[in-house]
Amino acid sequence: MTIRLKLTLWYSSIVALTVLIFSMVLYTTVWRNSLRDIDTALRRRAESVASSIFLPPGMALRAKSIVIPDVDVFSGADVYVQVLDSSGDLVAKSANLGSQSLPITPDILTVGNGSPFRTEAVSGSYVRIYTVPILYRNSIVGFIQVGRSLQPLMTQLNRLKISLVLVSLATVLFAGAVGWLMAKTALKPIDKLTRSAREIGEKRDFGKRVAYRGPADEIGKLAATFNMMLDGLEQAYNHLEMALAGQKRFVADASHELRTPLTVIKGNVQLLRKSIGLDPEGTEEAIQDIEFEVDRLSRMASELLDLARADAGQHIVLAPVDLVEVITSVAKRLAVLASDRDFNVTFDPAISCVPVMGSAEHLERVLTILVDNAVKYTEPGGKINVSLSVSDHYAIIKVKDNGSGIAKEDLPRIFERFYRADKTRYRSGTGLGLAIAKWIVSEHGGQIDVTSELKKGSEFTIRIPMLSQGETEKSIRKS
Ligand code: ADP
């Protein structure tokens, strides 16, 4: 059952109940008031009859001796009068009663036995009868009965009943129709919302919003909430699409990158098979090639594993570390990497200790990646400088070289996985180093940026938030 139908039925039922109660109250009020009026009229009539009865003084208490007035004087078209003696025998009656008489039941004649008014059926129609005793020296010498046909009242009440039924029916029908229209108007915005939502769902067009121009009532709030939910859904959907596209690209790049060394290895193995024992120099070269590619493959495999773990949400365990210590401890190894370059590590003289929440192992790895790149892309004799300084509660590590530099169009992409600006130049690269460096830095709550100019050199800058004095002490106490 639709809400519209339910609302209409509820509305009609309430109106029907109200109309029913109103009709019943009206009907009973009219009936009671009319009956009261009739009763008053009957009593007055009886009083008039009583006052005109003449009882001769000293008469024996026999009803027959009551001088009865002409009861017809007191009767009307539908008012009947009759007089009874003390034993209940009819003494006189109005002519309009014809051969009939008002019913005489013994209990009527017992004074004080309930109400003096009775409603009795007389030849198929109801008559209201008032019985009053005629007293003479405190003794009952007879009774006056005044009756009135209830037929006109019944007819009137019947007409009222029919009118009430008709008016009630019309009112309920009218209320139902109005309720049906009102429910339609009230539910129209919801209908619109439903249609918009269905359309958005069917077309998967999460950029669309439900158009609601109206007050900020319940429906306005529903529309706003719905649009808010669509915002979230759109974001999630876009994010998912981007992630999916990135994943697809990653899989395609990974399979491509893995195939290249494998092709080289296979070619060399075939060459070895053919030239075994014939060309010792060529054999040595082929074995070197194989070794080189196998090294690259295993490096790529371990780097891919690192990135896969990062994608799976694995986090680096951080603890308070001193960057001065980290850089000092890795400097020797870096110097070996850059042995035939002018390699320097400099610390801001104003600092003695730079505490950050970090992992010494991973920070060393980032430095190795950057210095290794600087070496790769700088000619022997070139300059490479690693520096550490502090600015605005951030530790700043810079790795600067005066090597080949990076073209402007490549700069925004060098942190992408497998992206290599010049693939033919350094075959040993995997294109994953900077992607890993970026992940490690972001795990430290930091940021990595690059500025570079072709043929002039590049500068990689890492910014990591420093631990305040209080935080350092707290972390040391905890550990
Ligand atoms: P790769 O294994 O190729 O070095 P990276 O992710 O470490 O992969 O670097 C991505 C690309 O960024 C490199 O292929 C190179 O083109 C460019 N690049 C990185 N560091 C430097 C640098 N110091 N000088 C010039 N180019 C660089």
Tokens of 114: 């309930």
- pLDDT greater than 70 at residue 438: yes
Chain mean position to CA 421: 50
Nearest of 80, 57, 65, 195 to residue 126 by alpha carbon:
80
**Is the pLDDT confidence value at 8 over 60?**
yes
| Rounded Cα gap, residues 214 and 218, in angstroms | 11
The answer, yes or no, to whether any atom of ligand 1 lies below 6 A from the CB of 434, is: yes
Kindly report, residue by residue over 307-342, the tens digit of the pLDDT: 888 888 889 999 999 999 999 999 999 999 999 899
Cα 457 to ligand 1 centre (Å)? 12
The answer to whether 234 touches 206, Cβ cutoff 8 Å, is: yes
Which pLDDT does position 20 carry in this prediction?
Answer: 95
Contact between 94 and 75 under an 8 Å Cβ cutoff? The reply is yes
CATH number of 3-57+65-157: 3.30.450
CA of 58 to the centre of ligand 1 (A): 148
Q: Residue 377: its pLDDT value, please?
A: 92
Q: Measuring CA to CA, which residue among 153, 106, 109 is closest to residue 127?
A: 153
Mean pLDDT comparison of 77-86, 217-226, 360-369, highest-scoring range: 360-369
Best-predicted range by mean pLDDT among 87-91, 156-160, 229-233?
156-160
For residue 431 and ligand 1, the question of a CB distance below 6 A is answered with yes
Residue 226 · residue 197 · CB < 8 Å: yes
Question: Which CATH fold topology does 319-478 show?
Answer: Heat Shock Protein 90 (3.30.565)
Question: Is 265 close to ligand 1, i.e. is its CB under 6 Å away?
Answer: no
Q: What's the 348 CA to ligand 1 centre distance in angstroms?
A: 27
Q: Residue 115: what pLDDT? A: 83
Rounded CA-CA distance 243/443 in Å is 19
* One-letter amino acid for residue 144 of the chain: I
| CA dist list (Å): 33 to 37, 117, 199, 241, 297 | 6, 15, 65, 82, 109
pLDDT, position 72: 64
Contact yes or no for 399/376 (Cβ under 8 A) = no
- Is the Cβ atom of 374 under 6 angstroms away from ligand 1? yes
Q: Which of 136-150, 271-285, 405-419 is the most confident on average? A: 405-419
Ligand 1 neighbourhood includes 414 CB (under 6 angstroms): yes
Indicate whether 280 pLDDT > 90.
Answer: no
| Ligand 1 atom at minimal distance to the Cα of residue 429 | 2
Atom of ligand 1 minimally distant from the CA of 422: 16
Neighbouring CB atoms inside 10 A of 356's CB total 22
pLDDT at 425: 58
More confidently predicted of 214 and 404: 404
Quote the pLDDT of residue 61.
Answer: 46
Measured between alpha carbons, how far is 259 from 256 in angstroms, rounded to an integer?
5
> Mean pLDDT for the chain?
87
Of 102, 45, 110, the C-alpha closest to 74 is 45
Residue 301 Cα to ligand 1 middle (Å): 18
Token readout for 300 is 């790529």
Where, residue-wise, is CATH 3.30.565.10 in the chain? 319-478
For the Cβ of 437 lying below 6 angstroms from any atom of ligand 1, the answer is no
CATH of 218-311, one of 1.10.1040.10, 1.10.1660.10, 2.70.40.10, 1.10.287.130: 1.10.287.130
Residue 60: predicted pLDDT: 47
Distances from the Cα of 19 to the Cα of 10, 11, 139, 160, angstroms: 14, 12, 53, 14
Give, using CA atoms, the residue closest to atom 16 of ligand 1: 421
What stretch(es) of the chain map to CATH 3.30.450? Answer: 3-57+65-157
Question: Does the structure show a pLDDT above 70 at 443?
Answer: yes
Which sign does the torsion angle of CA 64, 70, 71, 74 carry? negative
- Residues of the chain above pLDDT 70, percent: 92
- Delimiting residues of CATH 1.10.287.130 domain(s) in the chain: 218-311
pLDDT at residue number 223: 85
Q: Ligand 1 in contact with 377 (CB < 6 A)?
A: yes
Q: Is the CB of 133 under 6 A from ligand 1?
A: no
pLDDT in tens, 370-412: 999 999 999 999 999 999 999 999 999 999 999 999 999 999 9
Instruction: Please indicate whether residue 457, judged by its CB atom, sits closer than 6 Å to ligand 1.
Output: no
- Reference 448, options 380, 362, 339; nearest CA is 362
Rounded mean pLDDT, 42-58: 78
Please write the tens of the pLDDT for every residue from 236-246: 988 898 888 88
Q: Whose CA is nearest to atom 13 of ligand 1?
A: 420
Q: Can you say whether the dihedral through the CA atoms of 181, 186, 192, 198 is positive or negative?
A: negative
What percentage of residues in the chain have a pLDDT greater than 90? 45
Report whether pLDDT(1) > 70: yes
- Exposure pattern of 105-131 as b/e (b: 16+ CB <10 Å)? eeebbeeeeeebebeeebeeeebbbbb
Closest atom of ligand 1 to CA, residue 460: 23
Lowest mean pLDDT among 116-130, 340-354, 390-404: 116-130
Distance 287 CA to ligand 1 centre (A): 27
Testing ligand 1's pocket by substitution, the residue of 410, 420, 425 carrying the most ligand atoms inside 8 A of its CB is 420
Q: Identify residue 181 by its one-letter amino acid code.
A: L
Q: Which atom of ligand 1 is nearest to the CA of 432?
A: 6
